[in-house]
């Protein structure tokens, strides 16, 4: 019975010390494995961050280019619209002048018609 008990649970100070050293050794191995896992995860995290930072920078660069292109396009359209507005305003001024001239001509012709009618009626 002592022989089986001795192999299962160490007795004596040397046996307990050896068991404790084995336990410490296992814990150190486990700790080393955990540290290695942590370092591996840190490396993965750094790789993922680098990947997404690269994508973010590419996206920013693309968006800045798109925004710049759109701003240039808006400016170009604004200049074209301003020129078109000026052209239309000039046409409005010209047409108003023509309208005034035509109204004056109509008044002049109405007076002549009236004068002619008066002359015909007087004769």
Give the chain's mean pLDDT. Answer: 91
Query: What's the pLDDT score for residue 6?
Result: 42
Read off the pLDDT of residues 78-113 as tens digits, 9 standing for 90 and up.
999 999 999 999 999 999 999 999 999 999 999 999
Residue in 77, 40, 116 with CA at minimum distance from that of residue 32? 40
**Token pair belonging to 8:** 């299962």
Residue in 18, 21, 12 with CA at minimum distance from that of residue 2? 12
- Report the C-alpha gap between 98 and 7 in whole angstroms: 122
DSSP state of 1: -
């Amino acid at each position: 019975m002592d022989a089986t008990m001795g192999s299962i649970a160490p007795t004596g100070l040397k046996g307990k010390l050896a068991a404790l050293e084995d336990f410490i050794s296992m814990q150190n191995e486990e700790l080393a494995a955990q540290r290695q896992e942590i370092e591996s995860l840190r490396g993965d995290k750094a790789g993922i961050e680098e990947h997404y930072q690269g994508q973010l920078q590419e996206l920013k660069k693309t968006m800045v280019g798109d925004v710049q292109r759109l701003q240039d396009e808006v400016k170009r359209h604004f200049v074209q619209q301003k020129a078109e507005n000026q052209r239309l305003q000039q046409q409005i001024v010209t047409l108003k002048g023509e309208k005034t001239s035509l109204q004056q001509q109509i008044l002049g012709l109405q007076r002549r018609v009236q004068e002619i009618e008066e002359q015909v009626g007087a004769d």
